[in-house]
Structure 1
Amino acid sequence: MIVNIINYLEETVAKFGKKIAIEDNNGTITFLNLREEAIKIASEINLLGVAHNQPIGVFLPKSRKSIISFLGINYSGNFYAPLDIKSPNERLDRIIEKLSPKIIITNLEGEKKLREIKYSGAIINLDKTKLEKEQWAGTGYMYEYQLIMNPKDERVILDDKRQFFKSYEKYVIHTVADLQDLKDNKESIKTLLENPSGKIVFKSSDGKCGAGVKVASAKDFDENSIITYMANNQFDLVEEFIIQHPDLNNLSPSGVNTVRIFTQLDKNNEVVLLGCRQRISVNLPIDNMAAGNLAANIDEHTGKITDAGVYSDITKEEQTIHPITGVPIVGFQVPFWSETLIMVKEAAKLYPQNRSIGWDIVITENGPGFIEGNHDWCKLLWQLPAKKGLKSVLTSYLK
């Protein structure tokens, strides 16, 4: 049974895919091509990270592009809101303010008008070249790329935090133990519980993006209760809570602000830095972008932040100073930068079967250390702070 316009289009494509769907002054388009173009729009919407059931504006003249946009918005799980291109700026501004669309789909002329009224959300400009749109590495491309660079049967030392800490022990500067370590060596429990922060962090060895993490007071545990607690709550890893460098704590004290460095081994097994980013917590105990925090580009040569911090929600304003602490973001010097680069470049060569890794690094008063290495590193953290698509950078390593 047909329940919506997408079901109708899918059934029509199945039956009459090569028949003409639209005919206008620009020629004809088949149902199959109509569907393909709509899905491209949907992919671009999804790449921008908009949740489902959100209004998305369409600021276009009546044309095949507007129809494709309506369908693409439906495919993305959102609903479209047509905006009259003849509306005076003042009226258009009021409508947009009330509607609050995260994205507006338009053309070059429409984008100019939206800029005039200072629309701050995302714009998908259909007049932009196909090449420009294809410069962004999307989810599918990243999956295939990382599968080639980091084969499934080699990823375990990155996927399992227990193995990661053992494999890269030389570069870990905080106390870490898995459940079996604690059972075998009670002395390691004493070291953990007496760490300078007075706190410990329970984790799942396969957790991602801050999931499966619990921060607790060390004084609430002893050598027996900590083992029982971990077993009962499905934690298999525990670490000392890391005290970050005072400069980073001054920038944002709510969470430990980690550095992410993306490394790539070239055909000669030499290390190439694909990018360096500073994560910045915004009144949250974790620092990942998905939770609503900032990330900013770091100059790999100087260790200084070069640009404003950005959110994964691109409709939110960039930040040149921290919105809570007021500390400048642009120009911030990451401590121990040369030591950080030396560590990362050494580690990237240690197990060359994994060729493309996103390293999470903590900077303390005593220098840098690893938190984890990611075989499936985030495309948004890599590209959004750079403010451009970087797909071509990766393509060169597939040759």
Structure 2
Amino acid sequence: MTPIRRLLYLGYYFRKMNWPLLLRFMDHVREHHGIGRGRQAAALVIDSLRYNISPLEWYQFGFVSMTSAEKATWAGTGTMYEFQLRANPSEHREVLNDKRRFYKAFGQFFRHKLLDRKALEQEPQRARELLGENEKLVFKESTGNCGVSVHIVPTSDLDADSLANWMRENDYDMVETFARQHDALQALSPSGVNTVRIFTLVTESGEYRLLGCRLRISVDSHVDNLAAGNLAAPIDAETGRVNGPGVYSDITRAPEKIHPRTGVPIEGFQVPFWKETLDMVREASLLHPENRSIGWDVVVTPEGPGLIEGNHDWCKLVWQLPVHRGLKFMLDSDERAPRSKEP
């Protein structure tokens, strides 16, 4: 990694910076650690260049109280970008970038249906069938991420004859049937579908490895993305039991051992159909191994697990924050990466 490249990364981070959030993080650190904004700014710039992280990650990873050795264990945005570009080459990513192509490639693992807007335009009767058979539909932009473009609408509010036009006017190019989550997950948080995120790696020699499992938990939100203010909790890969509190990516919010709205315990929560979930993800990972490291989003329904999507640029925060430890050692080399149980 050349110093020039890291300087370019730093410039990119500042161009894309959420400045109000950065300033709020700075004030939080000043209040709790007694470090002024100037000293914080100097430290985060130095550490961004040294450890290949973004300025916000300096706060989210907790670098303010870490030793140099501890800082070196964390995989930041720069590290993840370089790893994921090697593991998931640009020429193979379209199947993951476009949810419609993902559905065609991995449809055997889905529990719900996905329809392209063009299909509704070409076959109008499919819109009538869709509305007649479902109470809710999920509208998305096929290349959207972080839950930004997700819109859930009761079918009673929609008209079959104008559905395709409505989708075009609102910039939705696909629609999914609503996946009903398992009753246990519904009791944990009913505001949104709470998915399991599983990180996998197929090494260059074709060996399958599990990099970690997390439960994403909605909090007063119809999506469960960490970036949208929701929780992520670690799952013991052997048992499927949540073995730690849910955490936010916002450092001003404390971890949650029980759900803040429903009161259902997060620690100790047993994810249903765990063996079936792991078996499905392993099979999916080996089906199209040209993308070697994927963050899989899994919905667990009353009938079993199903895929929602796969991410080539999976989130380092969801991966590392719930276990309170940097996991860069798992990426340092495909072939030499330790096979021991995730901490």
Q: What is the TM-score normalised by the length of structure 1?
A: 0.71
The alpha carbon displacement at 1:122 in A equals 5.6
1:52 aligns to 2:20 (yes or no): no
Match of 2:39 among 49, 53, 69: 69
User: Going by fraction, where is helix more abundant, 1 or 2?
Assistant: 2
Distance in 1 (CA, whole Å) between partners of 2:108 and 2:244 is 32
Instruction: Go from structure 1 to structure 2 and tell me whether the alpha carbon gap of 1:234 and 1:307 turns closer, same or farther (over 3 Å shift).
Output: same
- 1:269-284 correspondence to structure 2 within 5 Å: 269-284=206-221
Which residue matches 2:100? 162
1:146 aligns to 2:84 (yes or no): yes
Per-residue CA deviations over 1:109-153 (Å, capped at 9, x if unaligned) read: xxxxxxxxxxxx96712xx43221110001001001000000011
The alpha carbon displacement at 1:268 in A equals 3.0
Task: Kindly provide the amino acid, as one letter, of the partner of residue 254 in structure 2.
Answer: E
Which residue matches 1:316? 253
Structure 1 contact 195–240 (Cα < 8 Å) conserved = no
Structure 1 contact 164–372 (Cα < 8 Å) conserved = yes
Which residue matches 2:68? 130
Per-residue CA deviations over 1:268-306 (Å, capped at 9, x if unaligned) read: 312211000001111211111111111100111111101
Distance in 2 (CA, whole Å) between partners of 1:103 and 1:341 is 30
Distance in 2 (CA, whole Å) between partners of 1:383 and 1:346 is 24
The alpha carbon displacement at 1:229 in A equals 0.6
Structure 1 contact 59–104 (Cα < 8 Å) conserved = no
Q: Could you tell me the percent identity over the aligned residues?
A: 47
Structure 2 contact 138–177 (Cα < 8 Å) conserved = yes
Distance in 2 (CA, whole Å) between partners of 1:264 and 1:122 is 26
The alpha carbon displacement at 1:222 in A equals 3.5
Which residue matches 2:113? 175
Which residue matches 2:148? 211
Distance in 2 (CA, whole Å) between partners of 1:381 and 1:346 is 23
Structure 2 contact 199–295 (Cα < 8 Å) conserved = yes
Which residue matches 1:291? 228
Distance in 1 (CA, whole Å) between partners of 2:45 and 2:107 is 47
Task: Kindly provide the amino acid, as one letter, of the partner of residue 153 in structure 2.
Answer: A
The alpha carbon displacement at 1:313 in A equals 1.3
Instruction: Go from structure 1 to structure 2 and tell me whether the alpha carbon gap of 1:188 and 1:340 turns closer, same or farther (over 3 Å shift).
Output: farther
Per-residue CA deviations over 1:192-245 (Å, capped at 9, x if unaligned) read: 21334x111111001010111221121233432111111222110001122111
Which residue matches 1:331? 268
1:387 aligns to 2:327 (yes or no): no
In structure 2, runs of 5+ residues without a counterpart are 47-55, 337-343
Task: Kindly provide the amino acid, as one letter, of the partner of residue 397 in structure 1.
Answer: D
- Equivalenced residue count is 310
- 1:296-375 correspondence to structure 2 within 5 Å: 296-375=233-312
1:239 aligns to 2:179 (yes or no): no
Q: Of the two, which has the highest radius of gyration?
A: 1
Per-residue CA deviations over 1:281-336 (Å, capped at 9, x if unaligned) read: 11211111111111100111111101111111133211111111111111111011
Aligned-partner SS, 1:274: strand
Structure 1 contact 177–188 (Cα < 8 Å) conserved = no
Distance in 2 (CA, whole Å) between partners of 1:70 and 1:270 is 42
Note the aligned Cα RMSD (angstroms).
Answer: 3.0
The alpha carbon displacement at 1:50 in A equals 4.8
User: Going by fraction, where is strand more abundant, 1 or 2?
Assistant: 1
